[in-house]
Structure 1
Amino acid sequence: MVNNRSAVVAAPVAGVLLGVLDFVWIKYVPSPFADLGNSIAVWAVAAFLLTFRFRWSLPVGVVGAIVCLVVAVPFYYLAATVIQNDDLSNAYNSTALMWMGLGVVAGAVFGAAGVLARTPGRLQTAALAMPGAVMFAEAVIQLRRIGNPSYDDSGQVQSSLVLIALGLLVIWLAGRSWPQRGLALLIAVPFTAIGWVLLSFTGFR
């Protein structure tokens, strides 16, 4: 049953929690798990899980996911201000606005995917593949950094393995049957290639 009213509270609250906890995670969790806090894919999957969990209609799910990711950005920087005395202007400078813009795009795409992944129909399995695919795409980017003197090779390998494991986990948790999960993994292969191209296009390399 659709429950759109909950989006009014759940979406912004989820954004506050995502932003604050993401900074706390980066600050206090050791590598390679701390790297998840700097992951675009993790934020995209957060938008997916939000709309997958709450039974919102497609339009409300998209708006709710966008609100979540956009709200998360300034609260990430506000947490940094409180915890380590970063400049408060980081919450609204050009970099923050850029991340908010990316949050709009990611929220629209993965918010819609979260709704479709729990809605029976032709697009259900393809939508289910998307959170895994974005995790795999970021893992590919990290693996391609191996040999680059600007990065630590072992760190990139470890972080990529964590992303791959989480991508598999979210497909397994969201899937309703083993055949559906297997098909979602197959669909995730071309989606991973597309995701890698798009992430590279945004300058995330």
Structure 2
Amino acid sequence: MPPAPRTLALVAPVAGLLLGVLDFVWIKWVPYPFAELGNSTATWAVAAFALGWWARTGALRATVAATVLLVVAVPSYYLAATLLQGDDLAVIAAPTSLLWMASGVLAGVVFGVAGVWARTSGWREVVATALPVAVFLEEALRFAGKARTGYPGAWWNVAIDLVLAALLLELVGRSVRARLLAAAVALPLAVAGALVFTAVSG
């Protein structure tokens, strides 16, 4: 049974607060290479997906909830940095922060809807299952590129991302057929995402 609208309206910002704070704590105190998961855009995207999946509601409501989650998580991250590390609180309103929040809106729409679609059937289920898998595959490709330039421990991160991608494929896919089709869709999505990320980051 889906949560009541009021419950979802409460859970989304609280989850965003926790995501931002715990992400900073993870980066600061968890040892490498696992600390890289805190720097992972895939982790945040999958959090939005998980909220949409848990909501079990219409696409619009899931989209709003996932977007709130990600947008709230950004200032929460910088607030944690201020409280735990003494960073300047003004960074919350910096252009980089605003860009991350804008990106959170886009990711919230895509992955919030995907979380809902993952409970359906047909092509929507396949695409929805492929998306959370693809973001970790894309990250694995980027770490593989870093490994070839001598980035320390990058192959460990490749392995972690591949394990997480496989785990998500198993957990989200509701049948062998859906998992196989999702894997086939996730691979080109991951390659395209890696190329776009490389082009945007310069």
TM-score of the alignment, normalized to the shorter chain, above 0.5? yes
CA contact (8 A) 1:32 1:159 kept: yes
Corresponding residue for 2:171?
Answer: 173
CA contact (8 A) 1:4 1:56 kept: no
Consecutive unaligned residues of structure 2, counting only runs of 5 or more, are none
Corresponding residue for 2:197?
Answer: 199
Q: Distance in 1 between matches of 2:67 and 2:175?
A: 29
Amino acid of the residue matched to residue 166 of structure 2? L
Most deviating of 178-187 and 47-56: 178-187
- 1:151-198 Cα deviation digits (max 9, x unpaired): 32xx11111211111111112111212232222112211111222133
Q: Distance in 1 between matches of 2:145 and 2:109?
A: 28
Consecutive unaligned residues of structure 1, counting only runs of 5 or more, are none
Amino acid of the residue matched to residue 80 of structure 1? A
Q: Secondary structure at the match of 1:119?
A: coil
Q: Structure 1 residue 199: deviation in Å?
A: 2.3
Q: Distance in 1 between matches of 2:168 and 2:196?
A: 21
CA contact (8 A) 2:16 2:69 kept: yes
Q: Distance in 2 between matches of 1:74 and 1:20?
A: 9
Q: Distance in 1 between matches of 2:82 and 2:23?
A: 14
Q: Distance in 1 between matches of 2:106 and 2:176?
A: 31
Corresponding residue for 1:11?
Answer: 12
Amino acid of the residue matched to residue 179 of structure 2? R
CA contact (8 A) 2:56 2:116 kept: yes
Q: Distance in 2 between matches of 1:108 and 1:15?
A: 15
Q: Secondary structure at the match of 1:202?
A: helix
Q: Distance in 2 between matches of 1:121 and 1:178?
A: 13
Number of residue pairs the alignment of both structures matches: 201
CA contact (8 A) 1:2 1:57 kept: no
Q: Which runs of 4+ in 1 moved over 3 A?
A: 1-4
Q: Distance in 1 between matches of 2:200 and 2:107?
A: 12
CA contact (8 A) 1:45 1:110 kept: yes
Q: Distance in 2 between matches of 1:199 and 1:66?
A: 21
Matched, 1:50 2:51: yes
Matched, 1:114 2:115: yes
Q: Distance in 2 between matches of 1:125 and 1:147?
A: 32
Kindly report which structure 2 residues correspond to 1:12-161, keeping only aligned pairs within 5 A, or say none. 12-148=13-149, 151-152=151-152, 155-161=153-159
Q: Secondary structure at the match of 1:144?
A: helix
CA contact (8 A) 1:7 1:56 kept: no
Instruction: Say which of 186, 189, 192 aligns to 2:187.
Output: 189
Q: Distance in 1 between matches of 2:164 and 2:111?
A: 16
The percentage of aligned residue pairs carrying the same residue is 46
- 1:2-32 Cα deviation digits (max 9, x unpaired): 5450321111111001000000111111111
Q: Secondary structure at the match of 2:57?
A: coil
CA contact (8 A) 2:59 2:113 kept: yes
